[in-house]
Structure 1
């Protein structure tokens, strides 16, 4: 799912983003690098994007044509190296920080998209989810 909201001015206390789709940019190095051999490839991600954006953008436009305005709210963001979404998520973490958001960004260079569905099996995923929960609890208790 993309890191997007359909409401005009929602109150958002925090964000927890795990390898998010942010701009939908498919011309990044991570898209070029991950064309086969991983759970999520560039072609599969483009297929998902076509399904997601069908009918919700102007004719001739894709999600990549939309403007992303980061909301400066506390954000926990995790990216993984073997994922076409990697570069987009890293860029978004930077955009959030430049917009004044408190950002905790964890990058796992040797892991693939889908690690969090294996959290009971992959210890790294378990640790990152525990860190994310601590981040959210701390933010929400302020």
Structure 2
């Protein structure tokens, strides 16, 4: 499978700049480099009608959340977004560009959850935080002007893993009822040795990257078989919300994303897939570099409009 020409150019620029893998850096260095790379690749910062930082209760204390809203005063359909970063990197800041674009493209509100990071807070801390935040948002809709009847979850990479895990918990708890789930190149199977050899390029996300993140997140290797760490291992996926699964061709997580989509569909869950053969992991967060990143965000927005009952004709107007 051939790399997209834009990926080839981006990789060459990284080589010229002397880029090194995040997994060779200290945690502080990697966290700073991750934020810088996402800001550099995100393109122009899009205005939205309102951006507000707030907090919601979490199992170990308050959790930061960032709210992005389109124009309008009433309760809005809402996407609860979980950022990527291997459960180790990332914050509400790294998700800012994605959420701004989805607000403008879909016309919904987004709420990004600042869950606790590993290795300081290993599994299941992030899952517990995301689930607690979702439950609070669903049961206190007036606090954030949420239409609780039109609620979706989503995330990229580790965030996609967390979104999938939260749908399992919501089903087990009898709510909240979710209208949709968006899983962008999700990690769905944490078990070692499940990815093909050969993806060794240090300038691209590779299986060493996956191992580094997993090593931080799973303090007990046995947790790799827990369905909330590896949603692909859940015995029953029926009754989950309609799903969109986005994958990239040159991504060690591609196969497990495809398998999860197949299992969802086989369990009767309405499931759409969007594969970008020439792309690499992380492209969704880099619409300023990759045309496919913009296309994938458009695809996610169309999916959200369809499942959150949003009028496409009203999208993109009255931006603040």
| TM-score bracket, shorter-length normalisation | 0.7 to 0.9
Of the structure 1 ranges 87-96 and 116-125, higher mean CA displacement relative to structure 2 is found in 116-125
Q: Which residue of 1 aligns with 2:116?
A: none
2:209 pairs with 1:48: no
- Name the structure, 1 or 2, with higher relative contact order (CA <8 Å, separation 6+): 1
CA contact (8 A) 1:14 1:75 kept: yes
The number of equivalent residue pairs is 137
Task: Return the alpha-carbon distance in structure 2 between the equivalents of residues 60 and 118 of structure 1.
Answer: 32
> Runs of at least 4 residues of structure 1 off by over 6 A?
none
CA contact (8 A) 1:18 1:79 kept: yes
Q: Post-superposition shift, 1:38?
A: 4.6
Task: Return the alpha-carbon distance in structure 1 between the equivalents of residues 202 and 277 of structure 2.
Answer: 16
Length-normalised TM-score, structure 1: 0.83
5 Å-filtered alignment, 1:1-142, equals 1=158, 2=161, 3-5=164-166, 7=169, 8-9=172-173, 10=175, 11-28=177-194, 30-54=195-219, 59-64=220-225, 66=227, 67-68=233-234, 69-71=236-238, 72-141=240-309
CA contact (8 A) 1:4 1:22 kept: no
Task: Return the alpha-carbon distance in structure 1 between the equivalents of residues 211 and 221 of structure 2.
Answer: 15
- Computing the radius of gyration from Cα coordinates, the structure with the larger value is 2
CA contact (8 A) 2:284 2:292 kept: no
| SS at structure 2 position matched to 1:33 | coil
Q: Post-superposition shift, 1:32?
A: 1.9
User: What RMSD, in angstroms, separates the aligned Cα atoms of the two structures?
Assistant: 2.2
Length-normalised TM-score, structure 2: 0.39
Of the structure 1 ranges 126-135 and 17-26, higher mean CA displacement relative to structure 2 is found in 17-26
| SS at structure 1 position matched to 2:197 | helix
